[in-house]
Amino acid sequence: MKIPPVKGTRDFYPPEMAIRNFIVDGWKDASLRNGFEEYDGPIFEYLKMFQIKSGEEIVEQLFSLTDRGGRELAIRPEITPTLARMVNQQINSLPRPIKWFSVPRLCRAERPQRGRFREFFQWNVDIIGVDDEIADAEVIFCALDYLRQVGLTAEDIVVRISSRKMLAAVLRSIGIAKNELEPLYALLDKRSKMPGEVFEKMLADTVSDETKRKKILELMNLASIEQIEDCFNFSEEIKESVGELRRLFELLDIMGVGDFCRFDANIVRGLAYYTGIVYEFYDKCGELRAIGGGGRYDNLLKQFGGPAISATGFGIGDCVLGILLEEKGLLGKQLNQRKPDYFVACADKELFLKAVEVTARLRAAGKSANFSYKSANLGKQFKEASAQNAQKVVIIGEELSKNNELVIKDMNNGQQELIDLDKFFG
């Protein structure tokens, strides 16, 4: 009976696994270099944990299940609610600031397409307990530190930055009521994914007043932070949020990544819990979906039953990033190649067990080593050694039977030497 893989999932054969490991290992290195510690939670949580704060879009994409004890669960579509739960559970013993990262496996029942699967890996980097743009700057820097390290530059990547607080303040200043904000965010977040006329029609359905609609479009088209002050009634709220954006850009400049970053009022983010600065990472060609995004979510811990503690962080998935790295030619030469230290060949079938023994001793000594199951002739074994990229070949032949010696051939320069077996392992 043949059973196919499930729609939207991926099989990681060794070549695909090498790419996934290259991406994930790079994420981990950058996180540690930037002072973050790794955590993880369970693959499923109570369903209601994702229904409350993540927003409608994610709820529709949940893989939910009921276990034998009648618990309503869901496979995690994101890890931030788990992070909030875990931090709340140990809030009194965790030293702050909490600088944590994770690389969770996540599932969302989205329509599979280029760069989008129903199961993916997402790099999450968060700082909890720092109510200052330095934390937002540090997580954005961490992402860019990784992207630069794998070879991407400001020619390839742009971080589009805005602020939910600024957006809310401006929208309120032009007369949008507080309860109208949520549906408007959802619409504005999708603006770049639909034709202009469609957006304007949907906007008209959401906001009936034409003057307000014009103001919203004006805001969306602003080219710089300065223009916010020029164009809108400058309330204290707007002033504060613009000040935060200014300071963030200043910090990113000081950190040496200012050339990657630009203001873009179109950035709103789909998740419901963001409260301040928000941003998304894009390839500059603009042909791919966002590589990732994040922002400040100062109310989430409290909403999950904890104290009021500010938090900020981002998520970057492996799918769009993988396509970008491949397109830019950054995968091939950087992938960890298989390169065993030794291949143990035997000159005679009779010596096969001796080859097994030597291989086992090499491995026990911490060396990577292989041998051939086939006890074929030496030529074929050398071919196998080459195919595996073995650095050295150990030949078990009559030298061993006669003088207890091994022949070691360096596959890089072709040189051979004789070594006493006991000295070799001494």
| Residue of 237, 367, 408, 411 that binds a copy of itself (CB under 8 A) | 367
Question: Which member of 19, 24, 41, 376 binds a copy of itself (CB under 8 A)?
Answer: 41
Residue 304 as a binder of a copy of itself (CB under 8 A): the answer is yes
- Shorter beta-carbon distance to a copy of itself: residue 389 or 416: 389
Q: How far is the CB of 161 from a copy of itself (least distance, A)?
A: 17
Q: How far is the CB of 11 from a copy of itself (least distance, A)?
A: 5
CB of 261 to a copy of itself, least distance (A): 13
Per-residue contact string for residues 44-73; x = within reach of a copy of itself by CB under 8 A:
xxx-xx--x----------xxx-xxx-x-x
266 scored as a contact of a copy of itself (CB under 8 A):
no
Rounded to whole angstroms, how far apart are CA atoms 151 and 338?
Answer: 22
Whether residue 165 contacts residue 181, with contact meaning beta carbons closer than 8 Å, is answered with no
> Which one-letter DSSP state was computed for residue 278?
E
- For position 409 contacting a copy of itself by CB under 8 A, the verdict is no
Tell whether residue 305 is a contact of a copy of itself (CB under 8 A): yes
Q: Are 103 and 124 in contact (CB under 8 A)?
A: yes
Sign of CA dihedral 110, 114, 119, 123: negative
334 binds a copy of itself (CB under 8 A): no
**From CA 115, how far away is CA 291, in angstroms rounded?**
9
Q: Is 14 in the site for a copy of itself (CB under 8 A)?
A: yes
Q: Whole-angstrom Cα distance, residue 58 to residue 315? A: 15
- What's the burial of 217, exposed, middle or buried (CB within 10 Å: 0-12/13-18/19+)? middle
According to the binding rule CB under 8 A, does residue 130 interact with a copy of itself?
Answer: yes
- Per CB under 8 A, does 24 bind a copy of itself? no
Q: How far is the CB of 265 from a copy of itself (least distance, A)?
A: 27
Q: How far apart are CA 106 and CA 295, in angstroms?
A: 19
With binding defined as CB under 8 A, does residue 198 bind a copy of itself? no
Query: Which one among 78, 132, 237, 399 touches a copy of itself, defined by CB under 8 A?
Result: 132
CB 416 within 8 A of CB 408: yes
Among 26, 55, 77, 97, binds a copy of itself (CB under 8 A): 97
According to DSSP, the β-strands at 416-420 and 98-102 are unpaired
Site membership for a copy of itself, residue 2 (CB under 8 A): yes
Binders of a copy of itself among 335-364, rule CB under 8 A?
338, 340, 353, 356-357, 360-361, 363-364
- Residue among 292, 230, 18 at smallest CA distance from 26: 18
**Residue closer to a copy of itself (CB basis): 6 or 177:** 6
Amino acid at residue number 46: Y
Task: Find the part of the chain contacting a copy of itself (CB under 8 A) among 100-108, 165-173, 266-274, 404-412.
Answer: 100-108
> SS3 of 257, please?
coil
CB of 117 to a copy of itself, least distance (A): 9
**Residue 308 binds a copy of itself (CB under 8 A):** no
Can you tell me whether residue 75 is helix, strand or coil?
strand
The stretch among 181-189, 271-279, 298-306, 401-409 that binds a copy of itself (CB under 8 A) is 298-306
Contacts 24+ apart (CB under 8 A), 332-338: 334/22, 334/150, 334/151, 335/18, 335/19, 335/22, 336/18, 336/21, 336/22, 337/389, 338/388, 338/389
Q: Say which residue the tokens 């030597």 belong to.
A: 358
- The count of other CB atoms within 10 Å of the CB of residue 32 is 12
Which positions from 144 through 183 interact with a copy of itself, judged by CB under 8 A? 145, 148-149
Count of residues in contact with a copy of itself, rule CB under 8 A: 88
Minimum CB separation of residue 118 from a copy of itself in Å reads 8
What type of residue is 402?
K
Shortest distance, position 86 Cβ to a copy of itself, whole Å: 5
Q: Which C-beta is closer to a copy of itself: that of 163 or that of 370?
A: 370
Q: How far is CA 56 from the centre of its chain?
A: 23
